[in-house]
Amino acid sequence: MTTNARIAVPQGVKPTTNVTKGFDLSQKEGYRLNVASRSESPASGRGTPVNVPSADSGDDLKFSKGKEKLDPVVLYRKERGDVREHLYMVVIGHVDAGKSTLMGHLLYALGQVNQKTMHKYEQESRKLGKQSFMYAWVLDETGEERNRGITMDVGSFQFETKHKTITLLDAPGHKDFIPNMISGAGHADVALLVVDATRGEFETGFDYGGQTREHALLVRSLGIAQLAVAINKLDTVSWSQQRFDEIKVKLRTFLRQAGFRENDVAFVPCSGLTGQNLVQEPTEKELLSWYNGPSLIEVLDNFKCPERPITKPFRFSVNDLFKGTGSSFCVSGRVETGFLSVGERVLVCPSRELAVVKGVAIEESPKQFIFAGDQASVTLSGIEMQNVAVGFILSDPGNPVQISSKFQAKIVVFNVTVPITKGFSVILHHQSLVEPAVVSKLIAQLHKNTGEVIKKHPRFLSNNTSAMVEIQTTRPIALELYCDCKELGRIMLRVSGVTIAAGLIMKIIL
């Protein structure tokens, strides 16, 4: 049975039949809670836990028109009209390119990290014989990361530029932590690619198998179009213009091939360790002799904020779970589309359980509403913590996300050492979800540019081909068609720690 369920099924009717748990939404079509009626409930989540929210459906009907009255556009203007634009930026690049150091130093230069803390980091890192990592400690917070001098999971920090508020997501560069990098990049609007200008080091990251290459391809496949490139550690090559240009030319060609438009990519020379050209005007004579462009902070300020899809149905991708106060727990992640207010109910998918939103917060500060684009934490009650996991999607119960374990995707095959054949097992990345899957059918090989079918049922797919394939996961997952929701319609396929393909969900098979 193959349906384009999103279109075929009326709103509020569950598109699948194999329900294991949860609620039959068709009985309570389109119910929603009145936002105002619950707005007094404490954000701390200490209220009476609501165990089976379906029991009081009569109650729901009274308020059923609640959310309809809230026009998201009006609400957004009212709530956010006078605050600066908020941008999420992922910092990517090969291991040891100096991402954390660059960001740590930038934050210090902006006064986001006080002198006392910095002094403490300096002392403690010296004790470990890792003083060169003192700035990286701003973002590398766990003991493991500090001892090893390597970022393992995404660190985040919020700061202000002239016109914007930016939340930086400092991704790990090490190959083994790419799943974490992907979940960070999935939450970002723009990316800062950091490359090490040291002779030999740039080349290692840029070669096949290097993460300069892989990260750039990944963020582009995740829909990020704007990129700044920090050509870092230029102090190690005495601020050589020739080296800067050499790297710039190589990267520009590659990035164009990867699908970035030339106008959306900016290059900036800097040194995270010395702090040159981060915030203040440069002082290095060699640099001044050939460079009079913007400093890093100005480049970041120039990023354009993408449109936020606030009028679409609510979708939130879960990236983390942790205990809150009392009996409740929190999930954190990103509002992909729509908006959410305190007191509403959400459908947790793919487990299909209803939960009540006890509170929402951005950067630990409680809010009344969260909108598409926000990275936020949501306090849930009425659901067991075990029934939620990283990679789950919270959605509007009246217009829920789709659930399936089989779908068709249009994929672009990157560099594979063994060709993709039918039955190939892969690891599927979908937002923060990481799940084993199988390429169950090779439907057609497509022309890379035109998308025309070149060959039906190919025996295998090799490097740099484009194809329509069927993918099957072991467990059902929450997903959307790319045409309905770009954010939840993208997938990434990896094998043995290498990204082999990226794709778009074209058809969901129920």
> Does 496 interact with other proteins (rule: CB under 8 A)?
yes
- DSSP state letters, 9-25: SPTTS-S-----SS--G
> Does 133 interact with ligand GTP (rule: CB under 6 A)?
yes
Q: Tally the C-alpha atoms within 13 A of residue 175's C-alpha that lie toward its C-beta.
A: 13
Q: Which run of H or E residues covers position 183?
A: helix 178-185
Show the binding pattern over residues 124-153: x = contacts other proteins (CB under 8 A), - = does not: -----------------xxxxx--x---xx
d(CA 303, CA 265): 10
Which 396-455 positions form the footprint of Mg ion (CB under 5 A)?
none
Q: Tally the C-alpha atoms within 13 A of residue 249's C-alpha that lie toward its C-beta.
A: 6
Q: How many residues bind ligand GTP (CB under 6 A)?
A: 24
Show the binding pattern over residues 55-94: x = contacts Mg ion (CB under 5 A), - = does not: ----------------------------------------
> Does 395 interact with ligand GTP (rule: CB under 6 A)?
no
Contact 413, 462 (CB under 8 A): yes
Decide whether 294 or 419 has the Cβ nearer to other proteins.
Answer: 419
> Does 418 interact with other proteins (rule: CB under 8 A)?
yes
d(CA 6, CA 14): 10
Among 125, 221, 226, 319, binds other proteins (CB under 8 A): 319
| Count of C-beta atoms within a 10 Å radius of residue 1 | 6
Q: Taking the complex as a whole, how short is the minimal distance between the CB of residue 357 and other proteins, in angstroms?
A: 20
Q: Taking the complex as a whole, how short is the minimal distance between the CB of residue 235 and ligand GTP, in angstroms?
A: 5
Q: Which two tokens stand for residue 488?
A: 């939840």
Nearest C-alpha neighbor of 367 from the set 58, 80, 3, 4 = 80
> Does 272 interact with ligand GTP (rule: CB under 6 A)?
yes
Q: Residue 417's binding partner, choosing from other proteins, ligand GTP, Mg ion, none, with beta-carbon cut-off 5 to 8 A by kind?
A: other proteins
| 34 three-state secondary structure | coil
Q: Residue 71's binding partner, choosing from other proteins, Mg ion, ligand GTP, none, with beta-carbon cut-off 5 to 8 A by kind?
A: none
Contact 17, 300 (CB under 8 A): no
CB neighbour class for 509 (10 Å; exposed up to 12, middle 13-18, buried from 19): middle
Among 34, 41, 100, 276, binds Mg ion (CB under 5 A): 100
> Does 155 interact with other proteins (rule: CB under 8 A)?
yes
Which 68-97 positions form the footprint of ligand GTP (CB under 6 A)?
93, 95-97
Among 419, 440, 441, 509, binds other proteins (CB under 8 A): 419
d(CA 451, CA 276): 46
Show the binding pattern over residues 436-465: x = contacts ligand GTP (CB under 6 A), - = does not: ------------------------------
Among 169, 273, 370, 409, binds ligand GTP (CB under 6 A): 273
**Strands 164-170 vs 85-92: parallel, antiparallel or unpaired:** parallel
Nearest C-alpha neighbor of 269 from the set 167, 246, 256, 258 = 246
Among 47, 66, 173, 186, binds ligand GTP (CB under 6 A): 173
d(CA 356, CA 354): 7
Q: Where are the extended beta strands (E) located within 227-343?
A: 227-232, 265-269, 315-323, 329-337, 339-341
Q: Taking the complex as a whole, how short is the minimal distance between the CB of residue 211 and Mg ion, in angstroms?
A: 12
> Contact residues for other proteins (CB under 8 A)?
141-145, 148, 152-157, 174, 176-177, 179, 319-323, 332, 389-390, 416-419, 421, 423-425, 427, 434, 436, 459-460, 462, 494, 496-498
Q: Which residues bind Mg ion (CB under 5 A)?
A: 99-100, 151
Residues that bind ligand GTP (CB under 6 A): 93, 95-101, 132-133, 136, 149-151, 172-174, 232-233, 235-236, 271-273
